[in-house]
Structure formats: C-alpha cells, structure tokens
Structure 1
Amino acid sequence: MRVGGPAERILLARSAEDLAGFATELHDAGEPWLLLGGGSNTVVSDEGFPGPVLLVRSTGISVVEDAEAAAAGRVRVRAQAGHDWDHLVASCVARGWAGIEALSGIPGLAGAAPVQNIGAYGQELAEVLHSVEFLDLAAGEVRRLSAAELELGYRDSAIKRGLEGVVLSIDLLLEDAGAALAGAGADVDAGDPAAPGRHAAPGSGPEAGTDAGPALSAPVRYAQLASALGVELGTRVPLRVLRDAVLRLRAAKGMVLDEEDHDSWSAGSFFTNPIVSERFARSLPADAPRFPIGETESAPAVTSFEELAAGVPLRVPQPAAERSVKLSAAWLIEHSGLSRGFRLPGSGAAISSKHTLAITNGGAATAGEVAELARLVVQRVQQEFGLILAPEPNLYGLEL
C-alpha cells in the first residue's frame, strides 16, 4: 500500500537456514519482532514497527522425488518461502504443471500462501498443498507439517490462529499436464525471481505440452473466468490461456500491481467475505449474492428392530443442521452507500474505482487515512445490514 513508518532495524534472510536462525534468535530474545514476506497483505501504522523486521528472501523451486505422486500423474514441487508467488505460478505453467494457474497474479511470497490459504477464481491452495517445512518456535525444532495438520479453511489456517513458527518452504502436489519433468531433486528455477510483486506479462514465457497439444489446466470452476474464456464450467483450457485470462481479470479490478495504476496500490481485498447462517442470509435483500458452503446432515431418526435387539439406543429425531452461506463483501459495501472511488474529504485513501472490496492509496495516503476509511466501511455495513466485516490484511499498530 506504500503507507506506514519505518522498522527499528531490518534483518534479511536469503536462505532457509538464515530464516530459521534469525527467527530463533529473535524469538529467544523475547522482544516484539515482525516476520515480513512481500508485504502485500500488511498495513503498518505511520509510527512504524517498534522492533526488528525479518524479511524473507529465500528463493528457489525444485522437484521432490515422490513415487506415490508420480504414480498418480502428479509432481511434487518445493518452493522456498521467499520465492515470489506469481513467479512460482508462471514457472509451473511453463512446465505444464496444473493446479495453481488460477492463482496467477496474487502478490506476495510462497511462504505466506498457506498462512492465508490463498484462493481465487475457483482454486484454493488447500487443494494442492502437500506440506510445509515449519520452524516450530515453541518446540525449538524444524518439522514437516501436512496440509491436514495446518487445518486450512477459508482464508484461514492453524498458523493464522496462533500456531507460532515460520514457514521455511512449501510442497505442492500438481497435476503433470504434459510437461517433461525436471530431474527429482533438481532445481527447476533457482534464479532470483526479482522483487516481491513482480508479475509476468500475459502471453509471455514458454508453455510445456505434448505432441497432442499444449498442457491443459485444471477444470474451470469459476463462472466469471469461464465467461471470460468463452467456455462452459468444467472445461479444461491450455494453461497459458487460463493464466492470461486470470491476469486480465485481476488487472481490470486493479488487483495486479502496476506502478502507474494507483488502484493497484492496495492490500488486495481489504475485507473477507462474511460467512453467516442461512437464516441470517434470508434477512438480506433478495439480490444480495449468496454462496452456500455446505451443510451437515442429521442422523437418521429411524431405529430398526435389529438395532434395538442389538442394544442400539432409540434415536430421537434431530432437526437438520443449518448450512452456512458466504456473502459478497463487495456487494455489501457498495449497497451500504459507498461506491467505487469514494474517499473522505482531504484523504489520500479511497475505495478503488474498479472494485469496492479494495482500499487504495491515491499517491499520498497515510496508514491512518487507510484505517479511517476502513472503519467507515465497517460502520456503514453494520448499520445497513447488521453484520461486521473482518479485515483481511495483517494490521500492525492500527485498529478498526
């Protein structure tokens, strides 16, 4: 967002060993410190951070030998925590590895991806994450945590909920959609992926394939993306074609970093989409978007004679569990009276002119102005619809 004050001091970790060493030293010192990846999902107060900031800059992508994955037509890819996320996506697309192509253009670094369980356009990291190499600060050891142990949810994980430690690298299980795989254990792309937030231009770079044609994406599962591609939901398209379409969609919303476009000077979506009960969702206007996210079936209320004879207790009928519904935070904001481009008088912060879910820096905003506008958004939505939006970025020294 290009707001916020300075750090007391900066530590730079260019390898997993440096990252673990610095983090252990800072943790043992017992003073406040901040672990920072690309900074794309972070807003720091104008006073800055009153302690050391550890920057994650370890890079490299390699293939991990995994016979089980290979037998299933998949490849296990390891990325160091400091590797630029979009560079990782571009590298996988170029080699014909499918599963994260719809996550193109998301700013930030690979190590932060499981903390937030990033997702976009019908794909979510939880679907392809195999495990992470994790420095457990409480235990004082490095261990491998499976995706299941991370308890990934909607923009959530055990790490985000308080599991104290540092992600050193991540392993992904991707579909081998036609590329000739690099040798097991070999570097796929150990070069410097440039500064965090760097993105490849649509249509750039090679794409792996076979004699039958280019490698295909995972099935398209997002209606807006399918519409942009001109295909039906469930269709597979060339990986490069899907990546380019996602980058165009994100750019149109100001969600691809661009020095010339102040709408992209943001932390992306500033609020998460609220998850509410179906009963509450019915109280909203009929045109409010609703996305059911599952339900729990009640146990059968019938007990057979055979079960009674076997000692099974008589079942009491239970009401069906109410399912949850995800709402559109962007719709709620816009229909609370705050339109695209809205800004408070004299403020450098504004709601994006392209997407109501983003708060942007018009060029001279302060962190205080960003927080002031965010508080107004929360108040308006609460007054209009009776629910409180939760911020998505990490806030330091700021309160909403």
Structure 2
Amino acid sequence: MIELQNAVPLAPLTTLRLGGPAMRFVTVTDARQLAEACLSVWADDAPWMALGGGSNVVVSDDGFEGTVIHIDSRGIDQLEPGPGDAPGTVRVRAQAGEPWDALVEYAVANGLSGIEALSGIPGSCGASPVQNIGAYGQEIASVLVGVEFLDSETGELQWLTAAELDFGYRTSALKRGRDGVVVSIDLRLVRAGTDQRALGQPIEYSQLADALRVELGDRVALAAVREAVLRVRGSKGMVLNDADPDSVSAGSFFTNPIVGESFARTLPSDAPRWVTEEPATPDAPETYSVKLSAAWLIEHAGLGRGFSLPGSHAAISGKHTLALVNRGGATASQVAELARFIQWRVMSEFGVNLAPEPVFVGFGSDED
C-alpha cells in the first residue's frame, strides 16, 4: 500500500539543493510499488512527475502543484544472454532508482566494460536513457539494449528497444514526450575480464587520454579509467561532494549547440568545433553539421567562471563554465535568471541559442 504525503520539501532531493515543496509525494522502493503508485496517480488525471536522483532538474521556488513519485527502487542483476548478445558480452539489468554511479562501480568491479568513462555522473539509472547521458567518449546509447517502461496512456508495462528510444545528442524519445516511467534498464557490456584490472574500451577522448598519460585508442585497466574520470570530474566540481560548493549544481547546464556548417564558418576561427552526424539547429540543407563548445561561447561572451548577477547567490561554477551552482541560499528564480542572462549574452555575441539541459519544474512556459 503506497502512502501519499503532503507538502514534502524537494530541495533536499535535488543536487542544486533548492526549490519548493511537492503538493503530494510518494516514495517507491521496488517495481511493484512503482507500478501501484503510477497507476493510482494517473487515475486521478492530475499533474505528476517522476523524480530519481534529482541531478538534472530545477524545481521552482513555489514547488510542484501535483504528485511527485520519488523512485528509489534498487538492484543490479546479470541476466541470461538474450537475442543479439554476442559471445563475450554480458547483459546487466538495473532498477530505475539505482544510482547510476553504483552501476558503473559494479561493472568495473566485475570486469565489465562499456560504461567506465561514465563514472561520477549523478542521478539514477532510470533517468540515464532519458538524457542519453554521455561523457569522455562513451554514452548510454552505445550499450543500452532496452528499457522496461510503464506507459501512462495505456497503463501497460512495455519493452522499448534502444532503436525505439530514437537517441540523439542528450535526448531520446522519452525526453521528447513519450509519457510514462522507466522501471528498469538493460545494458549489454563487454566481458573484459573478471575484475577491475581488465582492460576497458579504447580511450576516445583527448582529455581523458591526457589524464591517463596514454595515446588515443590505447586501452587501460577499468579501475584506472574510473579513477581518472572521477579525478577529472572532481577537479571541475562535477562529482557530488559536500565539501565542495562548486558541486552543488545540476551538472552541465547547457548542451553543446549543433549548427549548420555554413553558420559555423561565421564564428571566430578559434571557436572549437567538431563535425557531427546530429541534425543542425535551426534546420537547413547543409553538407554536414558542427557541434560547438557551449563553454567556449559563454567564456568568450564575457562570462567567466565565478560570474554571478548582483545580489544573487547563483553563479557560474568557479571550476567549470557549464555548471551553474548554488553558492548557498540561492533561489530557483536566481538560477533561472542567470541562465537567461547567459543565453542572452551568447545570442547577442554569436547568434547561437544555448539550450538548457536540466528539466524546469513548476515554472511558467518561458522557462520550461
């Protein structure tokens, strides 16, 4: 039997540590409770939202006038091989509420390769395919087999394959409007060995290669990759740490914009850019698309690390330009105001629109 609570503060459940209360709130700890809570809430046809690790969300100061389903279901299991599982691969299932980094830690400890470079990313496993999380040359789209998904329209538990999730850069069909909740995720990882000394996937990201003092394409022990990623992320304030005020953030606040190649040629020659297969925004018939560095655009629009608006406790991180942090006592309105100011400066300087990565909850249509 699920138990609804009233006026539960949401700030302690988000990595930004801000925002108002949920009108109604329920915590679920297994798949059965999750289904029971969802079906009960959906039957009321009232506003609702799912909340996992709270790492990619900005809750308004007024909170959420609806029901928050807090997903805290845990569990990691190795499954029998399924269709499409090649020799040397292992299928792993994680429940939606399992912390993502706990899954990475499990994989590394068991000699399973494919997500070691995704170490230290906050949030839950259930949220990982929604955003198509990625870092340091790896992303979940490369290893996801599919998800168990409870559809809010039908109330039925469905199996959605990775192809059906239609992954893109930091997005998926789940983020673009497929309504429901992820119950569990299945990954296909490579059996690299029996423990953390096994070699991981080839290093594909130059900053990680530099941290490991190896060449691009080299393979390194899983434990060494995880340690290096945690060290690099920690130096940017991108690993949750109570002793580091720069870690009180929602992670990278803006995605790297993708533009057409003709527009990219209008930008300064020293602006970092990478050719990508992702579609350009705005749409235009282009030979190819180009991904830009949001951090470079922000810095070269005159907004350096540590910048904040007068009287505000929200700031650009002192360690990483893409993170907006709560310096203590910040409000959600201050974070939203800073985000809008950054967008305005970058648009004014370069004509590029920066899209926020976090989900805005309880704001008006101008923020969300």
TM-score, normalised on structure 2?
0.91
Distance in 1 (CA, whole Å) between partners of 2:95 and 2:82 is 22
Match of 2:36 in 1: 21
> What is the distance in 2 between the residues matched to 1:367 and 1:351?
14
CA drift at 1:58: 0.5
Instruction: Look up the SS of the partner of 1:241 in the other structure.
Output: helix
Q: Is 1:279 paired with 2:262?
A: yes
Question: Of residues 30, 36, 50 in structure 2, which corresponds to 1:35?
Answer: 50
- Structural mapping, 1:191-270, within 5 Å: 208=195, 214-270=197-253
- Residue of 86, 106, 117 corresponding to 1:91: 106
Q: Distance in 1 between matches of 2:82 and 2:22?
A: 45
Residues 242 and 295 (structure 1), Cα distance of their counterparts in 2 relative to 1, 3 Å cut: closer
Structure 2 counterpart of 1:384: 349
Read off the aligned partner of 1:162 and give its amino acid letter. Answer: G
How far has the Cα of 1:9 moved from its partner? 2.1
What secondary structure does 2:250 align onto?
A: coil
Residue matched to 2:6: none
Whose radius of gyration is greater, 1 or 2? 1
User: What is the CA-CA distance between 1:24 and the residue it aligns to?
Assistant: 1.5
Q: Determine whether 1:66 maps to 2:49.
A: no
1:370 matched to which residue of 2?
335
Indicate conservation of the 8 Å contact 2:146/2:185, yes or no: yes
* Conservation of the 8 A alpha-carbon contact between 1:7 and 1:52: yes
Deviation at 1:73, TM superposition (A): 0.6
Partner in structure 1 of residue 7 of structure 2: none
- For 1:344, the aligned partner's letter is L
Distance in 2 between residues matched to 1:350 and 1:105, nearest whole Å: 22
Task: Report Cα offsets for 1:327-352 as digits up to 9, x if no partner.
Answer: 00000000001000001111100000
AA aligned to 2:303 is L
> Aligned pair in 2 of structure 1 residues 237, 23: CA closer, same or farther (>3 Å)?
same
Decide whether aligned partners of structure 1 residues 350 and 321 sit closer, same or farther in structure 2, where only a CA change above 3 A counts.
Answer: closer
In 1, Cα distance between equivalents of 2:257 and 2:150: 32
Partner Cα distance (1:368, 1:295) in 2: 32
Q: 1:16 to 1:258 in 2, by over 3 A?
A: same
Separation in 2, partners of 1:164, 1:394:
15
1: CA distance, partners of 2:121 / 2:71: 17
Alpha-carbon shift at residue 388 of structure 1 (Å): 1.2
Deviation at 1:22, TM superposition (A): 0.8
Number of aligned residue pairs: 345
1:193 is aligned to: none
Q: In the aligned structure 1, how far is the partner of 2:79 from the partner of 2:350?
A: 49
Q: Which residue of 1 aligns with 2:360?
A: 395
Of the candidates 304, 310, 314, which is equivalent to residue 345 of structure 1? 310
User: How far off its partner does 1:139 sit?
Assistant: 2.1
Give distance in 2, aligned partners of 1:49 and 1:165: 18
Tell me which amino acid in the other structure corresponds to 2:230.
L
Identity of aligned residues (%): 60
CA distance in 2 between partners of 1:226 and 1:250 (Å): 14
- Cα distance, 1:167 vs. partner? 0.4
CA distance in 2, matches of 1:339, 1:51: 38
The answer as to whether partners of 1:69 and 1:75 remain within 8 angstroms in 2 is no
Q: Which runs of 5+ in 1 are unaligned?
A: 180-207, 297-319
Superposed, 1:250-329 pairs within 5 Å as 250-294=233-277, 321-329=286-294
Kept in 2: contact 1:69–1:173 (CA 8 A): no
Q: Tell me which amino acid in the other structure corresponds to 2:252.
A: S
Following the alignment from structure 1 to structure 2, what is the Cα–Cα distance between the partners of residues 321 and 41?
32
RMSD: 1.4
Q: Which moved more, 1:154-163 or 1:19-28?
A: 19-28
Distance apart, 1:33 and its partner CA: 1.1
In the TM superposition, residue 25 of structure 1 has moved relative to its aligned partner by 1.5
Q: Would the aligned equivalents of 1:295 and 1:322 in 2 still touch at CA under 8 Å?
A: no
1:279 Cα offset (Å): 0.6
Is this contact kept in 2: 1:295–1:321, CA < 8 A?
A: no
**What TM-score does the superposition give when structure 1 sets the normalisation length?**
0.84
Query: Which residue is equivalent to 1:10?
Result: 25
